[in-house]
Amino acid sequence: MSEGAEVDVLFVDRWAKRAGALRGILDIDAVMLHTPSASRLLGHSLTQFRAIDIVRDIKSHTMIHQSLRYHGRQVSKLVSEKGYQLIHAQGVATSALLAEASGFRPYSVSAWGSDIYVAPDKFPYLRPLIARSLRDASFIHAESAISKDRIIELASQTEKRFVVSTWGADTKYYCPGQRFEHTRNVLSIPSGRILLSIRALEPNYRVDSILKAFAFVSKEIQDAVLVVASDGSQSEDLARLAENLGIADRTVFTGYIEDDDKRALMANSYLYVQFPVSDGVALSMMEAMSSGLPLVSSNVGETPVLVKNERNGLLAEGSTPKSLAEALLRLLKDTELRNDMGRESREMAMKDHDRSQFFRKFMSTVQEVVDASS
């Protein structure tokens, strides 16, 4: 294997969000694994004499064990046909389970965030599956020492099996100075000081609190504009909330946006804001840092890995919309502070969170594992 490694991406159709869009963006081959009906999964388990999978699913009210068995055989067949040297599982609570179920070795695992902080506690039936998939991995990628400790808690890993590094951002692509006219017109963004949020419209990310905080902000900063550049299950509810708060005319819900528009938005916003209940090392925050934006966030999970309070951003002192609004207003009103923090964000991204640096380290470990298994 060399730096020019050939890569396929495997998607399970029911697991992958925007899989079609991702296949169009990625300059690599993508294989979609189809999930059959429940009756076919049941038939598959019976013909394979895996009644224990049926019993486990009945107990946990899921189809996960049968699905893993079915998809594991699909992956095993692909391995045989294509001659893979290593499988990398992107996500502990999803892809790692599939890699383990395939029976193929070696495989490696990357933890994202909610897959280690939320899923094992929210879905107890996943916990033993997660532990087994972590134990069988040849190496584990953790984005920080915090997530490494959590993985050790879940599966008692050893020191030598970790690569600890953020994924990083493409600091050449996400950078200040991007033109904005086209993106502003396409997304219908009014003129003003843009506060940008790019987290999924799901309960964990408390976008409702961001809207409520913006309602406070807009009373003092008349030209403030909130751009929510994502989608999710709460999109309709959040749009109604913006109407009820009287901020709909200064709030733009773009839905999912392409990378070029995201790059332009980040380079022309005043700050980046998020307010999750729990979080890993967020890619969108690293991209915002690389774009030269100060960050505002709740102080949860691995957020302090990226947000160094009073250096490149502010960690809200409380968990209420008002506490978030106070942090936002402080940056919006203090131009010098905002500019200083934006420069610090860019410098930190280039020094500590550049994707090319991560990939060199990651591929070196992949090479060692592949060589050892040859």
Query: Each residue of 203-257: pLDDT tens digit?
Result: 999 999 999 999 999 999 999 999 999 999 999 999 999 999 999 999 999 999 9
| Within a domain: 1 | no
How many domains would you assign to the chain?
2
Model confidence at 46: pLDDT above 60: no
Let me know whether 134 and 208 are in one domain.
no
Token pair, residue 206, equals 């408390």
| Within a domain: 173 | no
Let me know whether 135 and 281 are in one domain.
no
Domain that holds residue 197: 181-352
Query: With bands split at pLDDT 50, 70 and 90, how would you rate the model's confidence at 15?
Result: low
| Within a domain: 175 | no
DSSP SS3 for 47 = helix
> Looking at residue 33, what is its pLDDT?
67
| Within a domain: 31 | yes
Let me know whether 86 and 161 are in one domain.
yes
- Rounded-to-integer distance, Cα 146 and Cα 139, Å: 17
Q: What is the number of H-type helices and E-type strands within the chain?
A: 18, 12
CB of 154 closer than 8 Å to CB of 353: no
Average pLDDT, the chain: 87
| Within a domain: 193 | yes
Query: With bands split at pLDDT 50, 70 and 90, how would you rate the model's confidence at 42?
Result: very low
Token pair, residue 87, equals 């499988």
Let me know whether 141 and 44 are in one domain.
yes
Let me know whether 72 and 131 are in one domain.
yes
| Within a domain: 269 | yes
* Burial of residue 299, with CB atoms counted within 10 A of its CB: 0-12 exposed, 13-18 middle, 19 or more buried: middle
Let me know whether 199 and 287 are in one domain.
yes
Angle at 179 between CA 173 and CA 182, to 5 degrees: 115
| Within a domain: 264 | yes
Let me know whether 59 and 111 are in one domain.
yes
CATH code (residue 116) = 3.40.50.2000
Let me know whether 189 and 50 are in one domain.
no
Let me know whether 150 and 293 are in one domain.
no
> Looking at residue 72, what is its pLDDT?
83
Model confidence at 9: pLDDT above 70: yes
Residues whose CB is less than 8 angstroms from the CB of residue 15 and which lie 6 or more positions away in sequence, other chains included: 94
pLDDT, tens digit, for every residue of 127-186? 989 999 999 999 999 999 999 999 999 998 676 689 999 999 999 999 999 999 999 999
Let me know whether 158 and 215 are in one domain.
no
Let me know whether 322 and 366 are in one domain.
no
| Within a domain: 2 | no
Let me know whether 367 and 321 are in one domain.
no
